[in-house]
Amino acid sequence: MPIDRFSVTFTVAAPPADVFAHLADPQSYVGLSPLVVLVRDVRPVRDDRDRPAVAYVAVERFRWGPLRWDNPIRVTMTALEGRVISSVVSPGAVRLDSTVDLAADGTGTRVTETIEVRSPGPLRRFVTGKARSVQSARRSELTRRMGPIRHPRQTG
């Protein structure tokens, strides 16, 4: 299956510890990811490298005019210091891995999210387009949730 990889880097106003705590909580993804309308069945697990992780089901809601489709996806999230890794298994043989790296940037946090998505050929364009648009919306929403960027005043 083809792999598509893309990344975005941006800065939010909150310190890394606050951003990390927010991103490490599965419930934070309701609304943070615009398709996610529900998170359920949260439980501790070990990831594929035997590290402590959390598994849950996120329900994505797709709308086409008056029609809607709720897509349950299985997520395994590993929260390491300064990094949150989410592996998603979605129906239709779609697999998505998101790695969010956090670094101090003045009084805020530089956030870099890298996404790798694998999907069957017939779904590739749709899946990659949705993943990119969700990433962009998540960037905007996280920036909003973490408060405005404050730039130091220049004097002189």
Beta bridge partners of 8: 113
Residues 6 or more apart whose Cβ sits within 8 Å of residue 12: 19, 108, 109, 111, 142, 143, 146, 147, 149
Determine the pLDDT at residue 7. 94
Domains of the chain, by residue range, sit at: 3-145
By three-state DSSP, how is residue 148 classified?
coil
Q: Give the HSE-up count for residue 5: Cα atoms under 13 Å, Cβ half-sphere.
A: 3
CA distance 93 to 78: 22
The mean of the pLDDT values for the chain is 91
Segment 24-50, tens digit of pLDDT: 999 999 999 999 999 999 999 998 899
Q: Is the pLDDT of residue 155 over 50?
A: no
Query: What is the phi/psi pair of residue 105, to 5°?
Result: -145, 90
Cα(37)–Cα(33) distance, rounded to whole angstroms?
Answer: 9
pTM: 0.88
User: Would you place residue 154 in the very low, low, confident or very high pLDDT band (cuts 50, 70, 90)?
Assistant: very low
Task: Reduce the DSSP state of residue 151 to 3 states and report it.
Answer: coil
Q: What's the pLDDT score for residue 59?
A: 95
Give tens-digit pLDDT for 124-146: 999 999 899 999 999 999 999 99
Confidence band of 148 (pLDDT split at 50, 70, 90): low
User: What's the mean pLDDT in 103-131?
Assistant: 93
Are 113 and 98 spatial neighbours (Cβ–Cβ below 8 Å)?
yes
* CATH fold of the domain at 3-145: Alpha-D-Glucose-1,6-Bisphosphate; Chain A, domain 4 (3.30.530)
Q: Read off the pLDDT of residues 52-100 as tens digits, 9 standing for 90 and up.
A: 999 999 999 988 889 999 999 999 999 998 999 999 999 889 999 999 9
The predicted structure's pLDDT at residue 2: 82
